[in-house]
Amino acid sequence: MSTRKQLLLSLHRRHRRFLLLCGALLLAVIAITVAWWWAALLLLCGWIAHEAWFADHLFYSPRTDYQYSFPDGTAQQAVSLSEGRVALSAPLARGDTLFLELRLISSWLGRWFDPHVLIGGDRQDFERGVRGRRFLNLSGQEAALAAGELRIRGRHCHLSTSATLHVMRNPDYAERRMMILAPHADDAELAAFGLYRRTAGVSIVTLTQGETEAWSYRCLGLDVTAAARLKGRLRSWDSMAIPLWGEVPQSRCVQLGYYCMQLQAMLADPGAPFPSRESGATDVREARRHNPLRLPADADGLPCGANLVADLAVLLDHFRPQVVVTPHPQLDPHVDHVAATQALELAMQQSAWQPEVALLYANHLHDNDRWPMGPVGHGVALPPALTPLPADGLWSPLLSPAAQLDKAMALAMQHDLQGGLRCKQRLRRHIQRVLVGRRWPATGDSEFFRKSVRRHEIFWVRRLRG
């Protein structure tokens, strides 16, 4: 977790503790002056209200405008939203990725139910109480839009009558040689399964074993160290085996075997080894048995930054990707994700081969743990950007229903996404289902089954050369 997100979470918890203290004092007064059962009833109602409407980790005001700018050359045109349709002011510019910038204003019901916009057969959700600039993803709706037949309406929110359409044109990057950097097993599937399943020249490089937070394996009678070692073995296996479900052979998958939450420290002190925090392992070669080629760290097995960068440089020279897919260093706050992209940048300085384009993804956010909001299978609007980001292009390829199902099954194979919910989490979902109308998919209990199995995948396009 990044320092910024840790501060936001700490502030959120401090506010919650203060409100709980105030509530406890109020209930004590009611119990003493009125009746104990009134206090108990109010306590129950307050807890239900918290689980239904205040349990989301939303670390910003929903009245905040999203801050996005787009590269020079992005086609922009004014549109009007009237009579339930999107009306163009000029012929639709050519492009494959379309975002509609507009203002959303929540209705009073939108403070209690999730506001969303229905666009054709798609749905895109936003924060309760939203009031500000947002960006709808219209990719895949070009035909209806050009014909003036794209229907649009807000539910629990009002749409501005005028908007701006941003149209970006990309090649199909699936037709190029591609390398996907996954800080952990499952990151490649979460961000890009739909992309890599149709990319012939793709390689997948997983940086860590993913051995931390192995509490669920303690029930097997294992101590902390043994549980972490087992989890690391399982997730290393996941990183090599599950891509085959997307037609990526093992000869194009590499597991580097470094340790979770240590990448940032490794890059800060490249010569020092950083063993696992939980398993006690010190030799990355334990996780590399199935790799298709020999790498620099295979000589000594040291988990150090110099070896990580050297490994990536050799892999760039070996696979010669034209496109690299890697975490967005400004949007994705996970420390291993930020460090993965930093390590790639350092490796490119050592490598003789230079990719042309980076496709950046965000599997986590600083400010909103529910993005993409809304139910499974629908579109992906742009995430909150509360401070200006680099003016990168965007590419948002579509996933067919069959591709979405395959992606859900790829996630179901991931050991870290298996298992049921804790009692409190399951009860919260029942409360939100009844009072808020939220729905979760049948494919798995992890929130990633809802967030990642969508009509769109989305990548920020950053030119590296040319």
Three-class HEC string of 44-60: HHHHHHHHHHHCCCECC
Rounded CA-CA distance 329/341 in Å is 7
Domain end (from 38, 54, 70): 54
- The answer to the question of residue 423 being in a domain is no
Q: Is residue 227 part of a domain?
A: yes
* Structural domain contains residue 302: yes
The torsion defined by the Cα of 116, 118, 119 and 120, in degrees rounded to 10, comes to 160
Locus of tokens 């149709």: 198
Alpha-carbon distance of 294 to 44, in angstroms, equals 60
Beta bridge partners of 203: 179
Q: Look up residue 343 and give its amino acid.
A: A
Amino acid letter for position 414: Q
Query: What pLDDT is attached to residue 457?
Result: 98
Tell me what pLDDT residue 24 has: 65
Strand residues in 316-391 grouped as ranges (E): 323-327, 357-361
Look up the CATH number of the domain holding residue 207: 3.40.50.10320
Question: Which of 347, 364, 381 is at the close of a domain?
Answer: 364
pLDDT band for 8, please (50, 70, 90 cuts). low
Structural domain contains residue 258: yes
**What is d(CA 391, CA 462) in angstroms, rounded to the nearest whole number?**
9
The band of 38, judged by pLDDT with boundaries at 50, 70 and 90, is: low
In a domain, 92, yes or no: no
DSSP helix/strand/coil, 95: coil
In whole angstroms, what is the distance from residue 322 CA to residue 169 CA?
18
Who's near 171: CB < 8 A, 6+ residues apart? none
- Nearest 5°: phi and psi at 87? -110, 120
User: Does the structure show a pLDDT above 80 at 6?
Assistant: no
- Which residues, at least 6 apart from 216, have a Cβ–Cβ distance to it below 8 Å? 419
Q: Does residue 372 have a cis bond before it (omega within 30 degrees)?
A: yes
**What pTM, to 2 d.p., does this model score?**
0.92
pLDDT tens, position by position, 320-344:
999 999 999 999 999 999 999 999 9
Cβ atoms within 10 A of the Cβ of 343, count? Answer: 26
Give the model's pLDDT for residue 256.
Answer: 98
Rounded mean pLDDT, 252-278: 97
Domain end call among 325, 346, 364: 364
Which residues are 182's β-sheet partners?
Answer: 206
In whole angstroms, what separates CA 314 from the centre of its chain? 28
For residue 194, pLDDT beyond 60: yes
Classify burial at 309, counting beta carbons within 10 Å of its beta carbon; exposed 0-12, middle 13-18, buried 19 or more. Answer: buried
CA 392, 360, 416 angle in degrees (round to 5)? Answer: 155
157's enclosing H/E stretch is strand 157-159
The helix (H) or strand (E) run that includes residue 181 is: strand 178-182
Average pLDDT score over residue span 225-232: 96
Output the pLDDT for position 23.
63
Residues 49 and 178 in one domain: no
Mean pLDDT, rounded, of the chain: 93
Structure token digits, residue 175: 């037709």
Mean pLDDT throughout 86-115? Answer: 96
- Residue 465, pLDDT > 90, answer no
Number of domains, the chain: 2
Whether 149 maps to a domain, the answer reads no
Q: Could you tell me which of 185, 266, 264, 275 has the C-alpha nearest to residue 231?
A: 185
CA 45 to CA 22: how far, in whole Å? Answer: 16
Residues 349 and 208 in one domain: yes
With tokens 């979405």, the residue in question is 404
In the prediction, which pLDDT does 20 show?
63
> Coil, strand, or helix at residue 387?
coil
H helix intervals, 114-249: 142-146, 187-196, 224-241
CA-angle at 445, arms to 443 and 447, nearest 5°: 105
Q: What are the tens digits of pLDDT across the range 15-28?
A: 666 666 676 676 56
Structural contact between residues 427 and 436, judged by C-beta atoms closer than 8 angstroms: no
Q: With bands split at pLDDT 50, 70 and 90, how would you rate the model's confidence at 45?
A: confident
**Surface-to-core class of residue 421, CB atoms within 10 Å of its CB (0-12 exposed, 13-18 middle, 19+ buried):** middle
Examine residue 452 and state whether it is found in any structural domain, yes or no: no
Q: Is residue 45 part of a domain?
A: yes
Per-residue pLDDT tens digits for 310-323: 999 999 999 999 99
Q: What pLDDT band is residue 86 in, cutting at 50, 70 and 90?
A: very high
Which has the minimum average pLDDT: 50-59, 387-396, 450-459?
A: 50-59
Q: Is 166 exposed, middle or buried (0-12, 13-18, 19+ CB in 10 A)?
A: buried
Beta bridge partners of 357: 323, 463
Residues 6 or more apart whose CB falls under 8 angstroms from that of 179 comprise 202, 203, 204, 205, 315, 316, 319, 321, 323, 324, 325, 355
The parent domain of residue 46 ranges over: 3-54
Same domain for 179 and 42: no
3-class secondary-structure state, position 65: coil
CA dist., res. 190 & res. 433, Å (int): 25
Q: Phi-psi category of 204—alpha, beta or left, where left has phi over 0 and alpha has psi -120 to 50? A: beta
Closest CA to 187 of 231, 239, 248, 251: 239
pLDDT digits (tens, 9 = 90+) for 277-296: 999 999 999 999 999 999 99
pLDDT at 30 over 60: yes
- pLDDT of 42 strictly over 90: no
Q: What is the pLDDT at residue 54? A: 86
Is residue 212 over pLDDT 60?
yes
Q: What mean pLDDT is predicted for residues 220-249? A: 97
